[in-house]
């Protein structure tokens, strides 16, 4: 699948201003003292009312909810407490390597997606492995990816990224004929390459989608997606004239942040409340959304509200474009909205809610493929049905 990644588009017009890639690729940041191998994700276990995935996002995006603040404080004290345990545990063979540490270190970089952090961490597993046989290495890798996946079961891209990494790295026929060391170096090479591709993905997508943004268009954006941001940023840099309508993105107000960022780029932005989508749809030329995950049907799982926006856009014949990196392609096939593990997120209504009233706290919904026009991925611009083809090709 990645053999024909559209990364050539980057090679053609190299634009190094945004990401100095070298500084990030090979040297992991120094390991931090906060590492808890016993309980890798304390927040996850203690408070099930909020999906870990959205916690990470909140941390990255700087959207601070009161809940989150309290939790992170708790987590910090807890982490210090468990920090001592780690030394006892790790003292066996000097410094034991832990994927979660590695993952957490990578994760600190604000622009690095969770899945890419996981991919990097898994590459580090191969590098630091002391395995003597291929089988051993594979088992080790499997364990590492399982522990990463269990770190946050609600994150689709993390799970998908780990799965895809395993597929891409270990499924190479070249391994059969080589001795272990060269095979291992080959694996490392592939892992690095995969990390590199994943890392560049956002840039590639931005390049690919430039053709679709024309002068004078109005783009409706829902939620804060770093890919969509990158797309719009590049369009602005290319001196395209366009207008962006941002939904508010309740409950975490991610739309506000996007509007903020776009205003910095001098892009005309208008904020809408989430319920004003149908009202404004007639002046919209295209809808741009990101995705938490792209599923086998070609549909996407994204922040709550995407489905209804897609429905409105579909009924008004407006194109819906999805920007998603290919490491978000997941092996899921939701049959309906409730067919996925729920990712919950507390909602702050501002007023006390009586205890008898139930609150729907799901953070995301599933948009079926028939409402999507195109998906911009680092593999190219795909129709939803091609996504299933790609997934089938990769996994079978």
Partner 1 sequence: MDARRVSQVVPKVRQVGFVTHSDPNPPPQASRAQSVPIESNSGTPSDSPDFSPVMIPPPRHHSENLSHLRSAAVAVPESSSRRPMWDDRVAVVGSYNPGNSLLGQPVSPNSSEVNSEASTTLGWFGRNSSGKFSAGSSFPGGGFDLTTVKMENFTQLEGKKPEAVPERGGGAAVEVHNEVSSSTAKAKTTKAERRAMQEAQRAAKAATKGKGGGGGVEVNNRESSSNTLKAKTTKAERRETQEAQRAAKAAGKAQGNKPVAAAGGAGPGNILRQPSQNRDDPAVGSTIAGSDRRGGDRPPERERKKDVPPPRMQFDDQGRVNKSKKRAVFNQPEAKNRVELFRHLPQYEHGSQLTDLESKFLELDSMHPAVYKVGVQYLAGDVTGGNARCIAMLRAFQEVINDYSTPPGKTLVRDLTAKISSYVSFLIECRPLSMSMGNAIRFQKSRIAKLPLTLSETEAKAALCNDIDRFINEKIILADKVIVRHAATKVRDGDVLLTYGSSCVVEMILLYAHELGKQFRVVVVDSRPKHEGQALLRRLLAKGLSCTYTHINAVSYIMHEVTRVFLGASSVLSNGTTYSRVGTACVAMVAHAFRVPVLICCEAYKFHERVQLDSICSNELGMLVLVLVR
Binding site for partner 1 (CB under 8 A): 335-336, 338-339, 392-393, 395-396
| Cβ proximity to partner 1, 196 vs 296, nearer residue | 296
| Cβ proximity to partner 1, 19 vs 395, nearer residue | 395
Q: Locate tokens 């309740």: which residue?
A: 250
Q: Where are the alpha helices (DSSP H) in 129-276?
A: 134-151, 156-170, 180-209, 226-237, 254-264
Please, which residues have CB within 8 angstroms of residue 323's CB and are 6 or more apart in sequence?
A: 205, 209, 225, 227, 228, 231, 288, 289, 290, 291, 375, 376, 377
Q: How far is the CB of 396 from partner 1 (least distance, A)?
A: 3
Q: How far is the CB of 336 from partner 1 (least distance, A)?
A: 7
> 3-class DSSP state for residue 219?
strand
| Cβ proximity to partner 1, 111 vs 339, nearer residue | 339
| Cβ proximity to partner 1, 223 vs 334, nearer residue | 334
Q: At what angle are helices 134-151 and 114-128 packed, to 10 degrees?
A: 150
Q: How far is the CB of 297 from partner 1 (least distance, A)?
A: 11
Q: Locate tokens 């049905």: which residue?
A: 385
Q: How far is the CB of 368 from partner 1 (least distance, A)?
A: 11
How many CB atoms lie under 10 A from the CB of residue 118? 32
Q: Of 287, 309, 284, which Cα lies nearest the Cα of 367?
A: 309
Q: What is the DSSP letter of 21?
A: T
Q: How far is the CB of 392 from partner 1 (least distance, A)?
A: 6
| Cβ proximity to partner 1, 230 vs 390, nearer residue | 390
Q: How far is the CB of 289 from partner 1 (least distance, A)?
A: 23
| Cβ proximity to partner 1, 276 vs 344, nearer residue | 344
Rounded-to-integer distance, Cα 388 and Cα 386, Å: 5
| Cβ proximity to partner 1, 116 vs 391, nearer residue | 391
| Cβ proximity to partner 1, 135 vs 396, nearer residue | 396
Residue 166 CA to its chain's centroid (Å)? 17
How many CB atoms lie under 10 A from the CB of residue 375? 27
> 3-class DSSP state for residue 225?
coil
Q: Locate tokens 């549909």: which residue?
A: 299
Q: How far is the CB of 303 from partner 1 (least distance, A)?
A: 23
Q: Locate tokens 């409706």: which residue?
A: 220
| Cβ proximity to partner 1, 65 vs 297, nearer residue | 297
Q: How far is the CB of 269 from partner 1 (least distance, A)?
A: 37
Q: Locate tokens 């191969």: which residue?
A: 126
Q: Locate tokens 């895809």: which residue?
A: 164
Rounded-to-integer distance, Cα 175 and Cα 152, Å: 31
Q: How far is the CB of 333 from partner 1 (least distance, A)?
A: 9
Strands 320-323 and 286-289: parallel
């Amino acid at each position: 699948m990645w053999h024909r990644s559209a990364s050539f588009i980057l090679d053609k017009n190299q634009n190094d201003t945004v990401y100095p890639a070298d500084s990030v690729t090979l040297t992991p940041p120094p390991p931090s003292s906060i590492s808890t191998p016993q309980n890798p994700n304390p927040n996850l276990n203690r408070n099930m009312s909020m999906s870990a995935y959205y916690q990470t996002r909140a941390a990255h995006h700087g959207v601070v909810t009161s809940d989150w603040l309290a939790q992170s404080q708790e987590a910090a004290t807890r982490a210090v407490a468990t920090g001592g345990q780690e030394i006892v545990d790790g003292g066996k063979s000097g410094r034991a390597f832990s994927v979660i540490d590695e993952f957490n270190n990578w994760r600190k970089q604000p622009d690095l997606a969770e899945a890419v952090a996981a991919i990097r961490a898994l590459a580090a597993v191969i590098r630091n492995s002391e395995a003597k046989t291929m089988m051993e290495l594979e088992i080790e890798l499997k364990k590492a990816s399982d522990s990463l996946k269990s770190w946050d079961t609600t994150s689709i891209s993390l799970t998908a990224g780990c799965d895809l990494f395993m597929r891409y790295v270990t499924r190479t026929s070249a391994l059969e004929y080589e001795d272990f060391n060269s095979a291992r170096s080959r694996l490392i090479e592939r892992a690095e390459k995969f990390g590199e591709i994943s890392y560049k993905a956002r840039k590639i997508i931005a390049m690919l989608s430039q053709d679709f943004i024309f002068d004078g268009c109005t783009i409706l954006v829902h939620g804060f997606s770093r890919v969509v941001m990158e797309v719009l940023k590049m369009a602005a840099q290319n001196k395209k004239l366009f207008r962006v309508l941002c939904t508010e993105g309740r409950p975490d107000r991610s739309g506000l942040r996007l509007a903020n960022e776009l205003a910095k780029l001098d892009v005309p932005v208008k904020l809408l409340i989430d319920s004003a989508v149908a009202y404004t749809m007639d002046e919209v030329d295209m809808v741009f959304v990101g995705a938490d995950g792209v599923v086998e049907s070609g549909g996407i799982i994204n922040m709550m509200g995407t489905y209804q926006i897609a429905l409105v856009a579909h009924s008004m014949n407006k194109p819906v474009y999805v920007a998603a990196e290919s490491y978000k392609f997941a092996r899921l096939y939701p049959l309906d909205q409730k067919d996925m593990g729920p990712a919950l997120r507390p909602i702050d209504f501002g007023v006390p809610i009586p205890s008898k009233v139930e609150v729907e706290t799901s953070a995301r919904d599933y948009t079926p493929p028939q409402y999507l026009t195109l998906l911009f991925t680092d593999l190219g611009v795909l129709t939803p049905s091609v996504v299933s083809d790609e997934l089938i090709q990769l996994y079978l």
